[in-house]
Amino acid sequence: MCVSPSGRAGTDCQQAICGPTRNSFLSGRRPQRTQSWNFIDHFREGKGGKTGDEPARTEDGGLWVSLPGYFKTNGYITMGGGKTYHPNLPPNNDGNLSWSLGDRDYVSFGDKGGCTSDYFKGGSLTCPDNSPWDTSNFTDHSNLLGMLDDLRFASAKQKDTGQPFFLNYGQ
């Protein structure tokens, strides 16, 4: 059981899985407020909804400003990629509420497989040894290339227009 610094059992605690933690960090609210406990719920949900024994949500998460959304509303170009949010939590990786869509798409590539490691006959998504493989098949490499393109784009735009940028990549 989680015990908060105030000594209250089960309150003010983070979740130990990535979906709720990413929602918490990017919304600035603990899971008790977002009511994101799993890989189904997300902070953009409206009032109501209920998970298990928790009370119904009393706030409309659709009105909250996310961390990248804060930068966006303050004149920054915001671009993101990878697993910034858990995929589709919130839907569309928070779409135009967090990101400056239109100039660049949100970068999120998945693994294509292709590992020829001696440890995994028939292929695997990961290579645990030093066997050569085509790195373009793996999400880290693909997302890196996409985010480097975004960084070049944002840097050039800042140089031309003076517009600052916020670039977020999650792994």
* Positions marked active-site: 18, 86
Residue 20: count other Cβ atoms within 10 Å of its Cβ. Answer: 24
Residue type, 119: Y
Tokens of residue 104, six digits = 């660049």
Phi and psi at 69, nearest 5°, equal -65, -35
Q: Which residues contact 128 (CB under 8 A, 6 or more apart)?
A: 117, 119, 120
Q: How far apart, in whole angstroms, are the C-alpha atoms of residue 41 and residue 119?
A: 37
Query: Is residue 23 within 8 Å of residue 42, measured between CB atoms?
Result: yes
Residue type, 137: N
The distance in angstroms from the start CA to the end CA of the chain is 28
